[in-house]
Amino acid sequence: MIAKRIENALDAGSRAIASAIHYLYLARIPFLGCATLFSLPLLAISAGRPLVLGAFDLSRYGEAFFVGIAYGLAGGSIYFTAHVITNLCSKRFRLEVDPIVQRRIDKVWAVGILVSLIINILTAASASQASPPFSVCIAGSMAAGMLVALVGASIAGAFAIRLPKDPIYQTLVRIGIKIGLRRQKGYMRAISHDSETTDPAKWEYEDGQIRAVSYTFIVVLAYYIITGRQVAPLVALMFLLSLCVLILAGVTFFWDRYRLPLLLILLIYFYFAGFFLKADHYYRVWGRPALDPELTPAEIVGRATQQRLPLVIVAAGGGGIQSAAWTTSVLTQLGDQLARDSGSAYDLPQTFATIADASWKDNGAKISITSLSRKRGWRTPACQPGARTRWP
């Protein structure tokens, strides 16, 4: 008897492990989305600090508010897609999940997303200015933005509940029948026992499908409204995460039934996009009527000697956007310090003879010189005597 119980327990345990692995595979897209929410702040305080921490440095309350909205929408995208997969996996993928277990899984998703959002709020608050009141306001602004996103999710839920009584819903049902969704398990169900009828009044969508579509509409609407202005990088990143989770979860929910890997689908899409779709961006280029004459090294030295100006040669290497930031910081601070020490009698950009740079440091040099020149009231550095000349 004891041996039989042990055998049954081991058999039940192996089935539970297999079911858990099966479920995690089906819900891999929302799982990876939730893992992204956890990994960003962890990277910001660990090995990825030089690359990631700057994104959490928020300088204004409004900026933090929009970051909170984007984070809230990302968390909602993860929860909605996981909810649909959990509730419909038994109908589409023959993975039986008890309703009580489904509710528990939904709670686990909600708690996990909430914890990840709190960690991101704390990371942004600590990465911003060192003043405690400012950090508290940043955290409060992000939390307020997340509450606004929660209101949007509630609107999506309310819209999905009222939609079945609306003619728009009947139109969506009719479209679903025409494209064959009534023959795809997990999308539509027959109200009557006659599952062969094509009457829209006899069919309806499964629970969660319309809510997911409504939420997708809200995310897209928020994307076009918020990104119409200058936003923090985290806002764009979270909107990208939201759209990727919603779209890729929808793709996997359909094609996993046919054992078609997502990677293969993406490779096929990128192949056709690269060879057949006009996905490249083209910019108009206007030719200049006249080119500024380049000074020779001898002319530069001669001009500096006549004006009794020192010659400064700047050599900056490449290495990405952080190199541009470093070049900008060094040259700008050096110019400001020299101006203060000389009582504004010494202008650093006037003494530049050559700037040899590469990659992003070229942008850094341009930014620093433009900034210094505007502080001196110049329209552009090239308009002044002794302005910089860049040559290899």
- Whether residues 211 and 333 share a domain: the answer is no
My answer on whether 232 and 102 are in the same domain is yes
Nearest to residue 146, comparing CAs of 82, 76, 92, 68? 68
% of the chain beyond a pLDDT of 90? 20
The whole-angstrom separation of Cα 187 and Cα 209 is 7
Which uninterrupted H or E stretch holds 190? Answer: strand 188-190
Q: Rounded distance, CA 126 to CA 374, Å?
A: 34
3-class secondary structure per residue, 19-83: HHHHHHHHCHHHHHHHHHHHHHHHHHCCCCHHHHHHHHCCCCHHHHHHHHHHHHHHHHHHHHHHH
d(CA 270, CA 221): 26
User: DSSP letter at 282?
Assistant: -
Q: Are residues 241 and 310 in the same domain?
A: no
Please name the residue ranges forming H helices in 183-320.
Answer: 209-226, 233-255, 262-275, 297-307
Same structural domain for residues 332 and 223? no
Pairing of strands 312-315, 352-356: parallel
Give the residue-averaged pLDDT of 280-287.
Answer: 58
Q: Contact 87/102 with Cβ under 8 angstroms?
A: yes
Q: Is residue 286 part of a domain?
A: no
pLDDT tens-digit profile of 201-256? 778 888 778 888 888 888 888 888 888 777 888 998 999 999 999 999 999 998 88
Name 40's Cβ contacts closer than 8 Å, sequence gap at least 6: 52, 55, 120, 123
Domain count, the chain: 2
Question: DSSP class of residue 227?
Answer: T
What would the pLDDT profile of 168-215 be if each residue is shown by its tens digit? Answer: 777 888 888 888 888 888 888 887 666 677 777 778 888 778 888 888
* Domain co-membership, 145 together with 251: yes
Question: What is the model's pLDDT at position 211?
Answer: 81
C-alpha 243/C-alpha 217 separation (Å) is 10
- The percent of residues above 70 in pLDDT, for the chain, comes to 74
Cα separations in angstroms, 118 against 112, 121, 185: 10, 5, 37
Q: Look at the block and give the residue holding tokens 């300088």.
A: 59
CA gyration radius, the chain: 30
Same structural domain, 31 and 142: yes
For residues 290 and 330, is the Cβ–Cβ distance under 8 A?
Answer: no
Question: Are residues 23 and 146 both part of a single domain?
Answer: yes
Residue 225, pLDDT score: 87
Q: What band does 116 get if pLDDT is binned at 50, 70 and 90? A: very high
Is the distance from CB of 188 to CB of 182 less than 8 angstroms? yes
HSE at residue 160, side-chain half, CA atoms within 13 A, is 22
Same domain, 62 and 96: yes
Give 326's contacts (C-beta < 8 A, 6+ positions apart): 361, 364
For residue 151, what are the domain limits? 2-192+199-275
pLDDT bin (cut points 50, 70, 90) of residue 392 is: very low
Residues 126, 43 share a domain: yes
Question: What pLDDT was estimated at residue 93?
Answer: 81
